[in-house]
Amino acid sequence: YTFRFLPPINIQNDYKIFIKLPDEYDRILGSNIKCIIESVLIAVNDQCVISDRSIFITGFSNYQVDLDNPIQISIINVINPNY
């Protein structure tokens, strides 16, 4: 999954980015989840923590809102829900 967005405010390096997936997904989302920061956010020591369908991303540099450079984060190895 790739999330591309513009936050309403500048992001400081001590902030966390929080992504919550719907209840249809498994609580741990998969066994080998990886987060890849693919944009102007510079991964200083990027960390991706999974907890109850939620993804918490930390360890990036400051980000100034820029309409031409949105934040883009890919989450790979997520197991899709079975319907």
Q: What is the pLDDT of residue 60?
A: 82
Give the tens place of pLDDT for each residue, 26-80. 988 988 888 888 776 666 666 888 999 999 988 888 889 999 989 898 999 999 8
Higher-confidence residue: 83 or 31? 31
Q: How far apart are CA 55 and CA 21, in angstroms?
A: 8
Q: How far apart are CA 78 and CA 21, in angstroms?
A: 10
> What DSSP string describes 4-60?
EE--SS-B-TT--EEEE--TTS-TT--SS-EEEE-SSS-EEEEEEEEETTEEEEEEE
Across the range 3-25, mean pLDDT stands at 92
Q: What is the pLDDT of residue 13?
A: 86
